[in-house]
Amino acid sequence: MSRVYNFSAGPAALPTEVLAQAQAEMLDWNNTGVSVMEMSHRGKDYMSIAAKAEANLRQLMMIPDNYKVLFVQGGASSQFAMVPINLLNGKKSADYLLTGQWSKKAVAEVKRYCHVNVVADTTNSHFTTVPAAASLEFDPDAAYVHYTPNETIVGVEFDYIPETGDVPLVADMSSTILSRAIDVSKFGVIYAGAQKNIGPAGLTIVIVREDLIGNADANMPVMFDYKTFVDYDSMYNTPPTYSWYFAGLVFAWGLKQGGMSAIEATNKRKAEKLYKAIDDSAFYSNPVDVHCRSWMNVPFILADANLDTAFIEQAAAKGLTSLKGHRSVGGMRASIYNAMPEVGVDALIAFMKDFEKTQA
Ligand SMILES: *Cc1c(COP(=O)(O)O)cnc(C)c1O
């Protein structure tokens, strides 16, 4: 058995310790004689697993009591619709910041439900920057403001939280949740697909302020109403039980790392050393404005794109995998979520230096 340093953007690497724990518990969870996958979600064993996962997440993110945590399916992509369905509440429009491919998809989806006011659009920069905070003019009558704090494909991350006054702020945190400490009270809704920093695919976490629950359009499916998830503890239907269990193990692992401040410090160090290696070389480059470079997704291009294949092959031979960039960007992308240990980043940097030397 050998594990590589897996730089996949998602589904992404999971902490090896957590995988090992899940493996140890696979056939017989806590002397029940069954796998978590084989349990009724309504039994006391699974209920304890579910409650513990939520408690751990609340502790890790310091989620205030007036927020609910929902365990949902359908991915972040379903939230592109669930957000307007639940938050419009009779209003006619919503404000969106368009700063990358994911927020672009969110904008496309919300057009089915209301008028969209695109407050900022960085398409012309090829999504290599974020709008200046002072340039944002929000509509005080908008139902909410939606943005994507970290755009996973280009690797651009807001270095501030937009100030929206009384208008609820909604964030697609799929690729940045749990990467740094955040003040949850600044948000109306935070949502994230699990497969980047939380656990296996199939689970979406939605953290929603209580006053924003219970206003969904009555014509919409019951499974798209946040209130359904609140009223039934996210078990109106069968939830993705294994993903939820596994996410709980990841949250406990996060607490064991020292919580968000310790995780944040490690992530900052990992990102800074990788960007430094890129910036210090004439062979590698990253086009994103320095102040808004992502800590989680680090794209870089080689001076000669003809060397991409050799880079990827030689990296893989050294146990550094899934570095190929997104098809829309090309080059490389190293996703360095929480489960990527700092030694993995060090190994990538060492390989990059060696590869560059062999081209000289
Ligand atoms: C991965 C990702 C998505 C899509 O998530 P799904 O769970 O596949 O729907 C949406 N937004 C961002 C920022 C992402 O990184």
Give the residue, by CA position, lying nearest to ligand 1 atom 7. Answer: 75
Are both 110 and 229 inside the same structural domain?
yes
Are both 267 and 230 inside the same structural domain?
no
Enzyme catalytic residues: 102, 172, 196
Per-residue pLDDT of 102-151, as tens digits, reads 999 999 999 999 999 999 999 999 999 999 999 999 999 999 999 999 99
What pLDDT does residue 50 have?
A: 98
Q: How far is the CA of 174 from the centre of ligand 1 (A)?
A: 6
d(CA 6, CA 14) in angstroms, rounded, equals 9
Angstrom CA distances, 269 to 179, 263, 264, 311, 336, stand at 12, 10, 9, 24, 11
Q: Which residues contact 118 (CB under 8 A, 6 or more apart)?
A: 96, 97, 98, 107
d(CA 4, CA 360) in angstroms, rounded, equals 28
Contact 76 CB / ligand 1 (< 6 Å): yes
Give, for ligand 1, the residue of 8, 72, 174, 178 to mutate: max count of ligand atoms closer than 8 Å to Cβ: 174
What pLDDT does residue 272 have?
A: 98
Instruction: Give the domain extent around 282.
Output: 259-358
What is the rounded average pLDDT of the residues 220-238? 97
Please give the mean pLDDT across all residues of the chain. Answer: 97
Supply angle C-alpha 64, 151, 136, rounded to 5: 75
What pLDDT does residue 359 have?
A: 85
Give the residue, by CA position, lying nearest to ligand 1 atom 2. Answer: 174
What pLDDT does residue 125 have?
A: 96
Per the document, the length of the chain is 360
Cis amide linkage into residue 221, ω under 30° from 0:
no
Per-residue pLDDT of 41-87, as tens digits, reads 999 999 999 999 999 999 999 999 999 999 999 999 999 999 999 99
Are both 40 and 170 inside the same structural domain?
yes
Model confidence pTM above 0.95: yes
Are both 218 and 129 inside the same structural domain?
yes
Q: Is the pLDDT of residue 159 over 80?
A: yes
What pLDDT does residue 101 have?
A: 98
Per-residue pLDDT of 191-201, as tens digits, reads 999 999 999 99
Per the structure, the count of domains in the chain is 2
What is the rounded average pLDDT of the residues 243-256? 98
Look at residue 2 and tell me if it is in a domain.
Answer: no
CATH of the domain at 152: 3.40.640.10
